[in-house]
Copies of this chain bind each other. A is one copy, B any other.
Amino acid sequence: MKISTRPVQRAGAEMGRPLSRLLRRLDRKATLSADDREALSALPMTVRYLSPEQSFARAGDAADCCGLVLDGYLYRQKGTGAGRRQIVGIQTADDLVGLQTLLMPRFDHDIVAIGPAVVGVIPHTAFKATLRQSQALTECFWRETSVDAAISREWILNLGQRSALARVAHLICELVARLRAVDLAQDMKLSIPWTQADVADATGISTVHANRVIQELRRVKAIAWREGMVDVLDWALLERIGDFSPDYLNLPDAEGDRILWRGSPYPRD
């Protein structure tokens, strides 16, 4: 495994004021006062470089800080007693990790770097103090928790009801949609240092089958896949295969949350 701490997506300049990007993102779903913005920007944050496979936190750990992904990717994983691994979520740049530990004493899952990653570490003490000063900021972060929960529910649907092919397609769609929302992957290419084993563990299939599914997605020209680089060739097709609709991501969209929502497929009583 290549050990490198070089940021993978962002150039040095963009890394400069890490909280400003978070601020910009939060600001799209809420109106923050000048005080709020200042308080947020003033949060103390130490930068931590993670090498591939290194963990930010482990299940059971007592928690005293949260993280802000500055560059790279982290996955969140849980294991069964029998030692099988399930990836329960993937965090990309500008995502918060371990936010739930503000409310719960311990991590309920591992948080691990996929490739080299950079995380801003924010101590609970300072974070809580800032939140106590602002109801609006509290709501912002509570909303982050809510969106996180909505994404988890979609993963449950994905694992429970979709074919292996659809699951993998859906996962790729989600990542691309989320990255585009933070102005990465505008070219529909996503650079993520995962292996097919990671894809398998995120979609609940075996690595062998993940390989076959990826080959199928390539065959139909929905994606190109070179190690660490997924290139969406046909977004409409991939969306269709993955049964993907971005509603659940609660992204701030130009239309301002209109009735684009995919309703329930079931008759109302």
Query: A residues within 8 Å of B by Cβ?
Result: 53-55, 58-60, 76-86, 88-89, 99-100, 102-106, 108-110, 131-132, 135, 138-139, 142-143, 145-150, 152-157, 159-162, 201, 203-204, 243, 245, 247-248, 250, 257, 259, 261-266, 268-269
Contacts and interface: CB of A to CB of B under 8 A. Distances in A.
A248 to B, nearest CB: 5
Q: Within the oligomer, what is the number of copies of this chain?
A: 2
10 contacts: A78-B154, A81-B265, A86-B161, A103-B143, A106-B261, A131-B135, A152-B155, A152-B156, A159-B160, A160-B201
A235 to B, nearest CB: 16
Contacts of A109: 153, 264
Contacts of A110: 264, 266
Contact of A58 (B78, B81, B102, B264): B264
Given A104-B147, A108-B150, A262-B59, A157 B78 contact: yes
A203 B157 CA distance: 10
Nearest to A134: B135
A257 to B, nearest CB: 5
Contacts of A88: 153, 156-157
Nearest to A240: B81
Contacts of A59: 261-264
A156 B157 contact: no
A113 to B, nearest CB: 10
